Amino acid sequence: MITARSKEEILSASRVEEVIGEYVNLKKRGTNYIGLCPFHTEKTPSFNVSPTKGIFKCFGCGKAGDVITFLIEHEKFTYPEALRWLAQKYHITIEETGDTAKDQDDKMLMESLYIINQFAQEYFHSNLYKTEEGETIGLAYFKERGLTEEMIQKFKLGYALQQENAFTITATKSGYQLELLKKAGLVVNRGYSDVDFFHQRVIFPLLNLSGKVVAFAGRIMVKDERSPKYINSPETEIYQKSKLVYGIHQARTSIRQHDECFLTEGYTDVISMHQAGIENVVASSGTSLTDDQIKLIKRFTDNITILYDGDEAGIKAALRGLEMMASQDVNIRVVLLPDGDDPDSFLHKKGSAALREFIRDNKKHFLQFKTEVLMKDAGTDPLKRADVIKEVVGTLALVPDVVRRSILLKEVSRMLDVREQVLITEVNKQRRAKFNKETGAEKFEADALHRELETLPDHREQLYQDRSDELQERDVVRLLLEFGRKEMESAVPVAAYVLNEIRDVSINHMHLRLMIHEIESQMEAGNIPDHHYFLQHHDDELKRLAMEIISSPYVLSENWNKMHDIYIKMPSDNFISDVKSSIARFKMKKIMNMISENLKELNSAKGNAEEEIYFMNVHQRLSQWKQELGKDIGTVIVN
């Protein structure tokens, strides 16, 4: 794991305008840069890069973040991959935690396995053309399936000979160590001798995202009731079956371009669809779909369309996959092919145009698909229909995104003819039960805030009687994110000053309260988080909110001062004054609200002398506080 010190060094050295400038033609405008957004098509530049804040923001499509976010979004790097890319660019030596000697050994082993697998792939592939057995059995099989030479080369297909130690002999003669061949899962000991793991099978190499061969799958070429039709390499240091989907390396560019991924079951389905010109397709390799496989696809798109056989087994497989995909917050569509067909056989029968048309006409949203299947089985039985409603709502409860879940709730309400509020109540009930089971007792304020968010109405404007309340609260968080690490005149960090000033003042916006709570927690641990901390946050809503707070579409031109002889100090130039005035205005707004509420109480207390005196005293104290704050702000207060 990369150390915190190395991360800090990498982020400090990285210049957002230099990194993004390698992908976007940027032009300077004032203190910022602008260019055409690389995430959507536009003719007028709306993509802004701020070197001072270290962020980018597109005011057209909304994409925003820091240099790490850009590399993750544009290049589909993981967070560690982005850090390593930046470290290489800026010539920074990365420190990593753990036993360095062991780490080096592990890296050497993994590199050795990659080299051995590459040798094996070339060996299996050459068997198709350089051996009579490979040509008459392996190559003939692929040709019979209608695969072209281009596809055989593209997917590096091969053949393992019938002789059970043919590969072992060739590999050891070529200098590869027997123990490493065993670690790669290519050679196994059968008790009497060391033999090939694959023999008399056509071979499908399995490639990782970067195109390295990590394992193999083999289909048997002879009828043998004792042997499975397909076998995969055993898991190794470079291959975990649950984390890989077949064809991801070949499909990643097309998936990104089409913003959709077709998911099939078989290797030949993927290859046949590529041959038909449909390249944004991968396969789960006949296994149950896993969280890691969905996360891998999600690196390129949130839109997944599952292509399943139309038989009963295919329907059940689809339903199982939907539950897992719902929890990963992806947009799921389902296409059930005619009974007895898979994508490969459908293409052979009707061609690529027919398959595209069939997918277009039969693609259904996963909730529509699940509801139709279950309601058809329930018929008119009211108790079965009630069970269906609970099961569909159970799937909805897995969707983590609040907005997306709200939209889906409306659709389910329409389809099931059930009032939306009933569904909302059931979803919240199931999510609370799941939360309590996973986390135990309700211990922390942050947990309470998240639970409170689950019960919010869809219309966020109902949260505020006055929109200016929210704007004032956002401004307080802006101070923490932009200037938190700077110091006031007394050498107290701005973050500590602000938090102390607002300690007794309530924050209405729950996500802003959550951000402030997290800043306090981080400070207790000795860290003052800035906007970069929240731009990498696991909570998408906090990430989005932080980006909104620190972003502005307006930039003061460098020539403004020269042309107009008017010199304007930006908040960053005079942050102490900005902090004090913003806090004073924030308090003023809260006091005005308190005065308004107190006057209502005073009017309600008419006729009760004791209560009237109490509320009049409160009004007097609040008015005095308002006058004092008015002097700090420089505002004349008229009572």
Pick the more confident residue, 634 or 628: 628
Backbone angles phi, psi at 41, to 5 degrees: -80, 125
Q: CB–CB of 165/193 below 8 Å? A: yes
Same domain (yes/no): 80, 117: no
Give the Cα separation of 106 and 95 in Å (integer).
16
Same domain (yes/no): 487, 564: yes
Mean residue pLDDT across the chain:
82
Backbone angles phi, psi at 202, to 5 degrees: -75, 145
- Does residue 116 lie in a domain region? yes
Same domain (yes/no): 222, 115: yes
Q: Is the pLDDT of residue 543 over 90?
A: no
- Does residue 498 lie in a domain region? yes
Give the Cα separation of 361 and 383 in Å (integer).
33
Give the Cα separation of 532 and 351 in Å (integer).
50
CA-wise closest residue to 245 among 285, 211, 295, 291 = 285
Same domain (yes/no): 324, 177: no
Name the domain boundary from 89, 114, 148. Answer: 89
Pick the more confident residue, 170 or 477: 170
pLDDT at 465: 42
Task: Retrieve residue 26's tokens.
Answer: 């940027």
Q: Is the pLDDT of residue 560 over 50?
A: no
pLDDT at 634: 56
Q: Number of folded domains in the chain?
A: 4
CA-wise closest residue to 484 among 519, 455, 458, 454 = 519
The DSSP secondary-structure symbol of 329 reads T
- Does residue 391 lie in a domain region? no
Same domain (yes/no): 104, 199: yes
Same domain (yes/no): 203, 265: no
By DSSP bridging, strand 303-308 and strand 261-264 are parallel
pLDDT at 317: 62
Give the Cα separation of 222 and 429 in Å (integer).
54
Within 24-174, strands assigned E span 27-29, 32-35, 47-50, 55-58, 64-66, 158-160
Give the Cα separation of 285 and 620 in Å (integer).
75
Name the domain boundary from 306, 336, 362. Answer: 362
Same domain (yes/no): 176, 323: no
- Does residue 457 lie in a domain region? no
Q: Is the pLDDT of residue 335 over 70?
A: yes
Same domain (yes/no): 76, 156: no
How confident is residue 175, by pLDDT bands cut at 50, 70 and 90? very high
Q: Mention every residue, 6+ apart, whose C-beta is less than 8 A from residue 542.
A: 511, 514, 515, 518, 534
Same domain (yes/no): 262, 229: no
- Does residue 607 lie in a domain region? yes
Please state, as a whole number, how many other Cβ atoms lie within 10 Å of the Cβ of residue 248: 23
Same domain (yes/no): 542, 621: yes
Pick the more confident residue, 163 or 435: 163
- Does residue 384 lie in a domain region? no
pLDDT tens profile 23-43: 888 998 888 899 999 888 788
Domain membership of residue 577 as a residue range: 469-633
Same domain (yes/no): 213, 308: no
SS3 401: coil
Task: Retrieve residue 45's tokens.
Answer: 């530049």
Name the domain boundary from 309, 327, 362. Answer: 362
pLDDT tens profile 104-143: 777 789 889 999 999 999 999 999 999 999 999 999 999 9
Task: Retrieve residue 589's tokens.
Answer: 């707004």
Interhelix angle 510-524/445-454, nearest 10 degrees: 160
CATH number, domain at 112?
A: 3.90.980.10
- Does residue 151 lie in a domain region? yes
CATH number, domain at 258?
A: 3.40.1360.10
Give the Cα separation of 271 and 283 in Å (integer).
10
pLDDT tens profile 409-426: 888 888 888 888 888 878
- Does residue 486 lie in a domain region? yes
Same domain (yes/no): 621, 522: yes
User: Token match 């039709």: residue?
Assistant: 229
